[in-house]
Amino acid sequence: MNNGVGSFLFGQINGSCACVAVPCTETVTMELRTDALSSQASWQILLQNTNQVVCQFSVPVNGITSPITENCCLPVGCYRLRVSDSGGDGFVSGGITGGYQLRESGAAGRRIIDNLGNFTNLAGGAPDVSALANTYENGAFCVPVGNDRPIFSSCDKLDWVTNKFIVATENVAVSGQYGVTNNTSGYEFWFFDPNGTYSYRRFRSHGSSDGFGVGALRANHFRLNAWTNTMATPHLPNNVLLNVRIRGRVAGVNQPFGPACLFKMDAVRAACPIVKLQDNPLSNDFSCGVNKFFGGSNQGGNRLTVNPPQPIPTVSSVNVRYQIRFRNGEYPNPGGCIVRPPQTSPTFFLNWSAASGTQLKCNTQYDVDVRVSLDGGATWCVGNASSAPALNCADPGDPSTAWGKVCAVNITTSTYCPGPMQGGSSSMATQNGHLTMYPNPNRGEQLFINLTEVDADVHTVSVDIYDMTGKRVTARTIAVQDGFVNANIDLNNDLAGGLYVVNITAGEKTYTERLVIQQ
């Protein structure tokens, strides 16, 4: 048994009756977010078909409301996760609903089971146990995690309706079997409730259209609830937060399931969706975790774009209104919360006049969220019914006040106040120094940082790298020599491909750059 990361877990008896150690190669991270009664929480990872405990953890004290993470190193194979609340009411008390997430360890951190904010009171009395239903493989998850997954717009979408298509990212090995092994090649979609109330897998083969016509990509498209609802083939439940995972099947051979995404059938929310700034790193309008400046003419450097809603049923675009909110650490002081008037365009330019409202500050990071109205501003899909700023400002530290996904936006310079001049590349010239960061894009191996004219009383600088969720994935402290920083950071191929934000702090100066990892 292993209570954390180790070199091996179990042994196997070989032909000479000797115990041969089985090395662990797959390190996973278990994150708990509990209510105030945190000492009631515990978890176990067990072998797939026995009660042999591989890893376990119990929270020792109450009052821990920050994330509690522990690692577990596993041999390749399949296991069961059990999360318990001895109080019998889930991770719910004091206005907090907690949960957990099992993921790969490391910066990439692909999810295996995601039940954050969703471990509520379960039927059956104390203790409450959250675990996958034993419908398939005794409720097991397997490592390593595969690469099949929903496309970006189908991942973490919580407003699905019947007969819409959730789409898998193309697996070229599967596509290559179109017209060759049609009935035994395709994708298996697995929908499950981490709390154990639902688990269903359905295979989409090349051999059937499922309402999507013909071609090598039709098996990627899974039509929701477009099958007969029976005990053996249950429809996806409404208003239950599920996970969805996908695996390819090539000529009858299953690939490993890929990472988990959140999923929910919710027709009410689909009629008036939650919106967010464009957070797809591949989009030219990418606006989440970015550097922008304030002022000047309308241009890309001062533009934020909302991912427009797709309500069901559809509404006329003339009735759609957008509202954006900027909050920083100064709330509730003046300027700590800026709510702009509604507008008809999903594009916001950061250059409004002082007469029209409080302007954004230089060298300040804001938490930004947006919302939408589908009836000309008479009502809003989330938040206060009024668009008045005073009625829509709240503590950004309280997640219940968010309109939707909150994105970090760093204002680096403006036309109305002095400050560093932010360029569009990874070389940033300032009034008091020059920052160069290369190579960018980066292959995830080494990142070189050069910074000039560091203040004489500053002896170290800190370098923090954040992913697009705001999670810090790398932290380094670098020594200053004679007013200069010339260092390389070994990234160890720990960062998954995508967009990151690099914050460099040198005394009272802060530099922010975007970093693109291309694996």
170/261 same-domain check: yes
Largest CA distance in the chain: 85
- State pLDDT tens for residues 359-377: 998 888 999 999 999 999 9
Domain CATH for 188 = 2.60.40
- State pLDDT tens for residues 235-281: 999 999 999 999 999 999 999 999 999 999 999 999 999 999 999 98
Among candidate residues 392, 414, 436, the one where a domain is terminated: 414
DSSP per-residue string spanning 348-386? EES---GGGSPPPPTTEEEEEEEEEESSTTSS-SSS-SS
What is the percent of the chain with per-residue pLDDT over 70, rounded to a whole number? 92
Structural domain contains residue 1: no
Residue 270 backbone dihedrals phi, psi, to 5 degrees: -60, -30
Range(s) of the domain holding residue 258: 152-271
- State pLDDT tens for residues 79-134: 999 999 998 888 887 777 899 999 999 877 999 999 999 998 887 777 899 999 99
Q: Is there a contact between 506 and 464 (Cβ–Cβ < 8 Å)?
A: no
- State pLDDT tens for residues 466-509: 887 677 888 888 888 878 888 888 888 888 888 888 888 888 78
Structural domain contains residue 159: yes
For residue 10, give Cα distances in angstroms to 13, 83, 224. 10, 22, 42
Structural domain contains residue 166: yes
What is the percent of the chain with per-residue pLDDT over 90, rounded to a whole number? 60
Structural domain contains residue 3: no
Helix (H) or strand (E) holding 247: strand 242-250
Q: Give the three-class secondary structure for 66.
A: coil
Structural domain contains residue 468: yes
pTM over 0.85: no
Q: Residues 205, 207, 210, CA angle at the centre, nearest 5°?
A: 70
For residues 157 and 263, give the distance between their C-alpha atoms in angstroms, rounded to a whole number: 6
28/116 same-domain check: yes
Checking DSSP bridges between strand 221-223 and strand 111-115, what pairing results, if any? unpaired
167/282 same-domain check: no
137 or 394: which leads in pLDDT: 137
For residues 46 and 9, give the distance between their C-alpha atoms in angstroms, rounded to a whole number: 12
Structural domain contains residue 422: no
**pLDDT of 431 strictly over 50:** no
* pLDDT-based confidence at residue 10 (cuts at 50, 70, 90): low
45/172 same-domain check: no
Domain CATH for 495 = 2.60.40.1930
Instruction: Tell me the average pLDDT across 435-457.
Output: 81
Q: Where are the beta strands (DSSP E) in 356-492?
A: 364-373, 407-414, 427-430, 433-438, 446-451, 460-466, 472-479, 485-490
343/381 same-domain check: yes
**pLDDT of 310 strictly over 70:** yes
For residues 333 and 182, give the distance between their C-alpha atoms in angstroms, rounded to a whole number: 63
| Residues sharing a CB contact under 8 Å with residue 409, sequence separation 6 or more, in sequence order | 277, 287, 288, 289, 290, 292, 304, 326, 365, 366, 368
In total, the chain counts a number of residues equal to 519
284/371 same-domain check: yes
382/510 same-domain check: no
Among candidate residues 222, 240, 271, the one where a domain is terminated: 271
- State pLDDT tens for residues 272-288: 999 999 999 888 899 99
Beta bridge partners of 503: 464, 512
| Residues sharing a CB contact under 8 Å with residue 317, sequence separation 6 or more, in sequence order | none
Q: Is there a contact between 26 and 143 (Cβ–Cβ < 8 Å)?
A: yes
What is the overall mean pLDDT for the chain?
89
Residue 422 is predicted with a pLDDT of: 38
53/131 same-domain check: yes
**pLDDT of 421 strictly over 80:** no
Number of domains in the chain: 4
- State pLDDT tens for residues 195-219: 999 999 999 999 999 999 899 999 9
Among candidate residues 88, 121, 143, the one where a domain is terminated: 143
Q: Is there a contact between 371 and 381 (Cβ–Cβ < 8 Å)?
A: yes
Residue 415 is predicted with a pLDDT of: 56
- State pLDDT tens for residues 11-28: 666 667 777 778 899 999
